[in-house]
Chain A
Amino acid sequence: MSCDLSVEIAGLHFKNPILAASGTFGYGLEFAPWFDLGRLGGICTKGLSLEPLEGNPPPRIVETHGGMLNAIGLQNIGVRAFVTEKLPLLRQFQTHIIANVFGSCFEEYLDVIRILEDAEGIAAYELNVSCPNVKAGGMEFGNDPDEAARLTEACKRIARRPIIVKLSPNAGDIVRVARAVEKAGADALSAINTILGLSVDVYTRRPRLATGMGGLSGPAIKPIALRMVYQIASAVRIPVIGIGGIATVEDALEFLIAGATAVQIGTANYYDPLVSIKIIEGLQQFCQQQGIPAIRSLIGSLQMDERLA
């Protein structure tokens, strides 16, 4: 008997809990030659800003043990070009399109969302709060619970679609930020974004990335991400989407058991464009073997001794 892989997040029905993570899946269409995008639970687009962004100078990426650092610099074509050039093709696929949104100040987030509000075929917004707030001395929105909450509230007020806040592990206390944005009206959370890291060339004694530091992703961060998702899911009532180094069926299952309602696949897309499909098929197989009729029943089923938690 086949297992029901569907999950609900913010009133949206996802056919399965496997989503593509923002920044690793282009505008989605790049993967259309590899498989039917309609097989995915959802797609988080490349982060969209009000104006196009050129991105950082190279080198922008470096491979590390079990992962990679990136400093792409949020390169994107801008929200208007996304709406006119990409979205009409993308919305033809039977999957939820989640527009990932960022800005350098409050107003920019709102402007991007306003433009997207007029467009058809978007299921929800994912706020990337791991960006420096230019008007607040470059401090990341997501590092301060109050700033993150204010931003969430402002976006919530103008958006008719659900708001997912993507949390940064670089915040001092990610659980506090999670609680604050939940209180501010966030419909769901996604966690984690990349972890700030550094790699050094010992011969030149310079950073290997042109910008110095960058975001660490890949299997290396999975245990940290899993721990954070567990802590967040235990602290809030809204659904949490787990992200961080997921590369196998087992990885995805671990996140669901730890409390994630769905997961996003990121860096693994780079070395295997078919990885999401393999994981979806693997989930089905696992559940059938284990006699699990609905994958929902796994969510938050972690048997953690309360004295340990």
Chain B
Amino acid sequence: MRDHRVRILSNAPEPPAYWRLRVRLQEAIAIRPGQFVMVRTREQWEPLWRRALVIYRAEEHAEGMDLEFLYKVLGRGTMLLSRQRPGDELEMLGPLGNGFPHEADSEAEALLISGGIGLPALYLLAEALARDGRAVRLFHGEPTVEPNAPLPFLDDFARVLGPETITLATEDGSRGFQGLVTEAVQAYLERARPRRAIFYACGPMPMLRRVAEIAVQRALPAYVSLEARMACGFGVCLGCAVKTRFASDRTPHYRRVCVEGPIFRAEEVVWDEL
């Protein structure tokens, strides 16, 4: 991990409610799927903290490496980020966090489950699983999507996984499956009855909690990527603590989302204390 100075290649809004940022690093770095960086604009004083962005896509080339991020403008930090233009520089600490484990069970179908801005955590994983020849499906949920709007981020996944493996769920039924993404997953499991399956999920806390419940009910392994307020991202502020119970623990312990996570096994998380 290093504090990389990167140059913005593009930074533009994208339907239904996101921004896509592309930056260039001077060198190629090793990245595990699900890892993140802490970003700030150069010499930024306000807001104080960097913002955590999961690495969405990465492309190595002769001049170094391009990284892509999808983000949502939610507050002062992401607002400031959205005002940066091509050619501007960012300071980027990373890569940080544990990343998704390389799961040995190659027989199991990998079910990627995302809600809203949780999606970008899953792209590099989809790419890695597809490269390994694994069966992969993506279930993505949005509150609402305009019926004819292009959805470039789903096209990204379609190119890697094939369009037939992608299910879009909208809460208002404006497009795709009507209902919560976790209901779409349940419907799929009932219909297709895969012999073995593994969940990889990132999204809002209620969705992750539901994914964890389904995993327990069906005795399926599940990995969830958690989000928490972080002042540093590299393990010293202790602000991002979540209560977890590892197999080695007699009692639950606080662990840092930024270092021991952001990826946890669903059964390790003490959901009632989040």
A residues with a Cβ closer than 8 A to B are: 24-26, 30-31, 33-34, 54-55, 57-63, 65-68, 70, 72, 75, 218-219, 247, 267, 269-274
Which residues of chain B are within 8 angstroms of A55 by Cβ–Cβ distance? 238, 241, 254
B236 touches A33 (CB 8 A): no
B residues with a Cβ closer than 8 A to A are: 1, 3, 38, 40, 45-50, 91, 93, 228-229, 231-232, 234-243, 253-254, 273-274
A62 touches B235 (CB 8 A): no
Q: How long is the Cα–Cα vector from A34 to B107 in the complex, in angstroms? A: 41
Can you pick out 13 interface pairs between chain A and chain B where the beta carbons lie within 8 Å of each other? A24-B237, A34-B3, A54-B254, A59-B229, A59-B239, A60-B229, A63-B229, A72-B237, A219-B48, A267-B48, A270-B236, A271-B48, A273-B234
A219 to chain B, nearest CB (A): 7
By CB atoms of chain A within 10 A, which of B1, B45, B50 has the most? B45
Q: How long is the Cα–Cα vector from A271 to B231 in the complex, in angstroms? A: 7
Question: How many A-B contacts if CB must be within 8 Å?
Answer: 87
Q: How long is the Cα–Cα vector from A70 to B50 in the complex, in angstroms? A: 16
Which residues of chain A are within 8 angstroms of B229 by Cβ–Cβ distance? 58-63
Which residues of chain B are within 8 angstroms of A57 by Cβ–Cβ distance? 243, 273
- In-complex Cβ contact of A271 among B49, B241, B243, B273 (8 A): B49
The 5 A-B pairs of least Cβ separation, nearest first, read: A61-B239, A270-B232, A270-B231, A26-B236, A72-B238
Which residues of chain B are within 8 angstroms of A271 by Cβ–Cβ distance? 38, 40, 48-50, 231-232
B49 touches A63 (CB 8 A): yes
B232 touches A269 (CB 8 A): yes
Residue of A nearest to B273 (CB): A57
By CB atoms of chain B within 10 A, which of A62, A72, A270 has the most? A270
B46 touches A65 (CB 8 A): yes
Q: How long is the Cα–Cα vector from A247 to B40 in the complex, in angstroms? A: 15
Q: How long is the Cα–Cα vector from A273 to B232 in the complex, in angstroms? A: 8
Q: How long is the Cα–Cα vector from A31 to B235 in the complex, in angstroms? A: 10
A33 touches B238 (CB 8 A): no
B78 to chain A, nearest CB (A): 13
Which residues of chain B are within 8 angstroms of A62 by Cβ–Cβ distance? 229
Q: How long is the Cα–Cα vector from A89 to B236 in the complex, in angstroms? A: 17
- In-complex Cβ contact of A58 among B47, B49, B242, B253 (8 A): B242
Q: How long is the Cα–Cα vector from A273 to B240 in the complex, in angstroms? A: 17
Given contacts A68-B48, A274-B3, A58 and B231 within 8 Å (CB-CB): no
A72 touches B239 (CB 8 A): yes
Given contacts A58-B241, A63-B49, A218-B48, A269 and B236 within 8 Å (CB-CB): yes
A33 touches B48 (CB 8 A): no
